[in-house]
Chain A
Amino acid sequence: MNASDTTSRRWLWTGLILTGLFVIVPLLLSLAGRSYFYQIANTIMIFALLAASMHLVTGVAGLLQLGHAAFYGIGGYGAALLATHFKLSFAATIPLAGLMAALIAFLVAVPTMRLVSIYFAVATLGIGQMLHVITLNWVAVTKGPNGILLFGGMKLFDIDFSKPVPAYYLVAVIVAACVYVIHRLSHSYYGNALRALREDDQCADAMGINTPRLKLESFTVSGFFAGVAGALWAHTAGYISPADFNFNVSILILSMVVLGGLGSLPGSILGAIILIGLPEVLREFKAGDFRNIIIGVVLFGVILFQPRGLIGEVSALDFIRNQFGLGRKARSDGKQMRVGWL
């Protein structure tokens, strides 16, 4: 395949995705004609952005993040408080909420960046829990478990963005732009440096890559996008409470990234579509109660049977195989040795 083929294929895919996002899905939604479906579509897009932002830090840079919901929550609360207390226009609150989340992510990252693997994971878990306890109990500012209501006011250029269709387009445009930025970040020399970090941080360090700085940057950028997602959620849902941003949400986002495949951006987005969409489809069969169980089972099954995820670029276990040349070797009885069940 020559270069122009690749380019034209890339344009074809981009065109298809954009048409799908901006023409076909809204058309289908307007045919279905229920605002509930718009809400689901918005949720899927917001979680796609969350999964994409976690993909940058967990999939590409290889830092296991167990507190992503905290930055999502900072974005959500930041946007809600800026809109209700300071009466800022919603258009201003979205980037500001992202910046707030990025700032907190930066402050969190500075001391924890020298930790590796599970210690980093647990540090992020601890920080996520701290922020959750704070939003739950700092009643004077966050109104505690009651949450914050946002009243309309989503007007810009005489368009009322609290109506379903403009809200859909607003979320779609912002999410598409953010995902494009993440795509360019992770498929560049910069992204390759992050991948080197993921494969072996000591080796990357030895080759002259400034690993703490890269970790810091990717963590901050990921925090920014999570904050934007939080702001979008606050504005489209119109109500936020600490329960929207607890540990289960962090795990849900992690499951999306693992299900789609670590290191693959389309995979993360596909994971978001499946894990938000599937329970909605199953709702028809009265399976709403099983939502979290399904997430647990899916996560477990994927790790065990398909550690590469649906379209992943690395798998935890392939990594071992390549590293030590063990897995693919035929045993003496002619059977292939496999990792996983038996």
Chain B
Amino acid sequence: MDYYLQQLVIGLSLGMVYALVAIGFTLIFGVLNVVNFAHGEIYTIGAFAGLLLFVSFAPPLVVVLLVVLAVGALTGVGLERFAFKPFRRFNDEATLKSRAMREATLMSSLALSIVAREGIELVFGSQFQSLPLQHMLNSPIKIGPVTIVDGDLIIFGTSFLMLAGLQFVLKHTSVGLSIRAVSNNALGARYVGIDTDRTIAWTFAVGSGMGAVAGILVGLYYGAIFPAMGFTPGIKAFVAMVMGGLSSIPGAVICALIIGISEALSSIFVSSVWQDLVAYAFLIITLIFFPRGIFGGARERV
């Protein structure tokens, strides 16, 4: 029983991380209707930025998280400028939602993600980076029968703070208002005078910042920072987005938690090398049986 509880805690913190990554996907899909394939690399870049910071200045964790948030946001804006903006020359609705547009940006972000990953690999090498032990988040804490590590608590805390912050930004600031307006109806938002390009840049900043923080949190939790680390979480976050109904943030968060917990619990029954299959199976099942997401959010043809 204790073991189950323990796995549940691990699953929850895993799911929280997927949720942070999935929110970036969902926000970007909401405003642009495209998949950002380089989102996983933002996660990697966040982890490496945090690693560099720890090795060179060893600041307290809060500072690192804030800096990583900023680095992620800046990288996201840069990514938008290079991989998405050049394809957004026309502003009629049909073009913004066309299939060609989506596939072109999908491939351009994919190409940039290869460049980013291989670039990191050239500089740092493809092996795991060694992290100073005292920075790792794995000192055990006993709560009743369950032993968790402080990393679990920090991941919970940070994720809750960021989710609350996101909710605040979306609901109570003018940037959030324009993000919601553009994702509701890009053309309408433009007609009422919202600067859509700016809003899209802001969306990338917010989403990528959260993805980057997720990267450094996982890096510290598992002590595994390497150039290809962003690929699998990226796919799993994408699965969470599709399951949650594409543009619904609460849906994506709940599905990310479901995926995280199922993965952790699956390791009770099968060897942990197979746990990646859980997310892929979820993806295929969702796409085939619930193409509109399990909460029925999507409004278009999938």
Main secondary structure of the interface of A (DSSP, over half): helix
- Determine if B90 and A112 form an interchain contact, defined as CB atoms under 8 angstroms apart: no
The digit string for A239-263, where 1 denotes a CB below 8 A from any CB of B, is 0000000011001001100100000
Q: Is B157 an interface residue (CB 8 A)?
A: no
- Determine if B103 and A316 form an interchain contact, defined as CB atoms under 8 angstroms apart: yes
What is the bound-complex CA distance between A251 and B122, given in angstroms?
19
The digit string for A287-328, where 1 denotes a CB below 8 A from any CB of B, is 001101101110110011001000000001101100110110
Q: Is A21 an interface residue (CB 8 A)?
A: no
- Determine if A303 and B280 form an interchain contact, defined as CB atoms under 8 angstroms apart: no
- Determine if A137 and B103 form an interchain contact, defined as CB atoms under 8 angstroms apart: no
What is the bound-complex CA distance between A203 and B14, given in angstroms?
44
- Determine if A293 and B277 form an interchain contact, defined as CB atoms under 8 angstroms apart: no
Which of B104, B111, B277, B301 lies at the interface centre, i.e. has the most chain A CB atoms within 10 A of its CB?
B111
Q: B253-275: which residues lie under 8 A (CB-CB) from chain A?
A: 271, 273-274
Shortest CB–CB separation between residue A266 and chain B, in angstroms? 21
A316 touching B104 in the complex, CB below 8 Å, given contacts A292-B118, A296-B118, A324-B90: yes
- Determine if B112 and A133 form an interchain contact, defined as CB atoms under 8 angstroms apart: no
- Determine if A300 and B274 form an interchain contact, defined as CB atoms under 8 angstroms apart: no
The digit string for B92-119, where 1 denotes a CB below 8 A from any CB of A, is 1011001111111011101111110011
- Determine if A133 and B280 form an interchain contact, defined as CB atoms under 8 angstroms apart: yes
- Determine if B115 and A296 form an interchain contact, defined as CB atoms under 8 angstroms apart: yes
- Determine if B94 and A324 form an interchain contact, defined as CB atoms under 8 angstroms apart: yes
CB-CB under 8 A from A299, the residues of chain B are 107, 110-111, 114
Q: Which of A115, A121, A129 is in CB contact (< 8 Å) with B276?
A: A129
B273: nearest chain-A partner, CB-CB: A137
Q: Is A174 an interface residue (CB 8 A)?
A: no
Q: Which of A303, A319, A326, A327 is in CB contact (< 8 Å) with B111?
A: A303
- Determine if A303 and B89 form an interchain contact, defined as CB atoms under 8 angstroms apart: no
Q: Is A119 an interface residue (CB 8 A)?
A: yes
Which among B137-145, B181-189, B282-290 touches the partner chain?
Answer: B282-290
CB-CB under 8 A from A297, the residues of chain B are 111, 115
Q: Is B193 an interface residue (CB 8 A)?
A: no
- Determine if B112 and A296 form an interchain contact, defined as CB atoms under 8 angstroms apart: yes
Which of A248, A316, A327 lies at the interface centre, i.e. has the most chain B CB atoms within 10 A of its CB?
A316
Q: Is A189 an interface residue (CB 8 A)?
A: no
Shortest CB–CB separation between residue B116 and chain A, in angstroms? 8
Q: Is B73 an interface residue (CB 8 A)?
A: no
What is the bound-complex CA distance between A339 and B91, given in angstroms?
12
- Determine if B99 and A117 form an interchain contact, defined as CB atoms under 8 angstroms apart: yes
- Determine if A340 and B92 form an interchain contact, defined as CB atoms under 8 angstroms apart: no
CB-CB under 8 A from B295, the residues of chain A are none
What is the bound-complex CA distance between A129 and B89, given in angstroms?
34
Q: Is B86 an interface residue (CB 8 A)?
A: yes
A137 touching B274 in the complex, CB below 8 Å, given contacts A122-B283, A303-B108: yes
Shortest CB–CB separation between residue B229 and chain A, in angstroms? 14
- Determine if A251 and B114 form an interchain contact, defined as CB atoms under 8 angstroms apart: yes
A125 touching B235 in the complex, CB below 8 Å, given contacts A118-B106, A293-B114, A326-B90: yes
CB-CB under 8 A from A64, the residues of chain B are 103, 106
Shortest CB–CB separation between residue A145 and chain B, in angstroms? 11
Q: Is B48 an interface residue (CB 8 A)?
A: no
What is the bound-complex CA distance between A341 and B288, given in angstroms?
38
- Determine if A118 and B235 form an interchain contact, defined as CB atoms under 8 angstroms apart: no
21 chain-A/chain-B pairs, Cβ below 8 angstroms: A112-B284, A115-B302, A117-B99, A117-B102, A123-B287, A126-B239, A130-B280, A136-B273, A137-B271, A251-B114, A255-B111, A258-B107, A293-B118, A296-B112, A300-B108, A316-B104, A320-B95, A320-B100, A324-B94, A340-B86, A340-B89
6 closest pairs, A vs B, by CB? A296-B114, A300-B111, A296-B115, A299-B111, A316-B100, A126-B283
Which residue numbers of B lie inside 8 Å of A, CB to CB? 35, 83, 86-87, 89-90, 92, 94-95, 98-104, 106-108, 110-115, 118-119, 122, 231, 235, 238-239, 242, 271, 273-274, 276-277, 280-281, 283-284, 287-288, 291, 301-302
Which residue numbers of A lie inside 8 Å of B, CB to CB? 64, 111-112, 115-119, 121-123, 125-127, 129-130, 133-134, 136-137, 247-248, 251, 254-255, 258, 289-290, 292-293, 295-297, 299-300, 303-304, 307, 316-317, 319-320, 323-324, 326-327, 337-341
